Structure 1
Amino acid sequence: MERKTYYISLAEGSISQVSTASSWDYQIQATDEEITHLREIFDQNYSSDWQGFWRAHIPFVQYHYDRENDAYDNGLQQAFKMIYELGDEATKAHIKDQGLMDDLIE
């Protein structure tokens, strides 16, 4: 399959083939199937984020004790791992420098 260049904004959950369309944080090379999978991860995170928003209005469980937050955290780690694996050298260096993926990066 042919790989294309994509520009990713993790905070916005956006994926674009145009570098000037919006702000972006990471550049990756991916197939159509890989982009579909990354979009599914972003969509799951968006849904989990909204669920967390509604739960935050009933503050009887602290964040680190709320198992529902695991879905969002795991989704974020999956997205970072996938972006790292598909990323260019600058993307990989940036993610390594953040130190958030030390346990997931080989």
Structure 2
Amino acid sequence: MSSKKTLYVSVSNKSLDAEASMNEQLEVRGTAEELEELRRMLERLKKDDEATQFRAPIPYKSADHDKATDQFNGDLLKLYQAIYKLGTDETKAHIHDRNILNKLQNTDYEYPGYER
């Protein structure tokens, strides 16, 4: 059985570090394979972020229901699910208390103004 290692995830910086910093970071414990998968997820999210940033300055075209935005949102949900799975009790409490997984699963598209 592989030993588990503790690392710190920063979703906003899309980084996985050996030491905690002053910024928001979530503590996770996992095997080398689990942590490598988490690192790949962060890289995928970086690429998704780059794809969606090109849509932001286009004033006449909404990013709602956009493939790039949908991909980013889906990958962000998967990332938080993985962080929750590997997270310490404090990390799990942070994700739970802020209702992050539920918010990522339920978009606000049902509100007025989002009709197709």
The TM tier, using the shorter chain, reads 0.7 to 0.9
- Aligned equivalents of 1:19, 1:82: Cα separation in 2: 19
Alignment of 1:14-25 (within 5 A): 14-20=15-21, 23-25=23-25
Q: Determine if contact 1:7/1:24 at 8 Å carries over to the other structure.
A: no
Distance 2:7 2:70 in 1: 28
Give the CA deviation at 1:93: 0.6
Identity of matched residues, %: 28
TM-score (norm 1): 0.86
Structure 2 unaligned regions, length at least 5:
105-116
TM-score by length of 2: 0.79
Where 1:63 maps in the other structure, the secondary structure is coil
Which of the two has higher C-alpha Rg? 2
Contact 2:55 2:63 in 1 (8 A): no
Other-structure match for 2:51: 51
Kept in 2: contact 1:13–1:42 (CA 8 A) = yes
Note the C-alpha offset of 1:60.
3.6
Match of 1:8 in 2: 9
CA contact 1:7–1:25 (8 Å) conserved in 2: yes
8 Å contact 2:7–2:18 — kept in the other structure? yes
**CA displacement, residues 26-55 of structure 1 (integer Å, 9 cap, x when unaligned):** 111111111111111111111111111112
Alpha-carbon distance in structure 2 between the residues aligned to 1:50 and 1:102: 25
Matched residues, number = 103
Q: Give the match's secondary structure for 2:13.
A: coil
Give the C-alpha shift of residue 23 in structure 1. Answer: 2.9
- Structure 2 CA distance for aligned equivalents of residues 50 and 80 of structure 1: 19
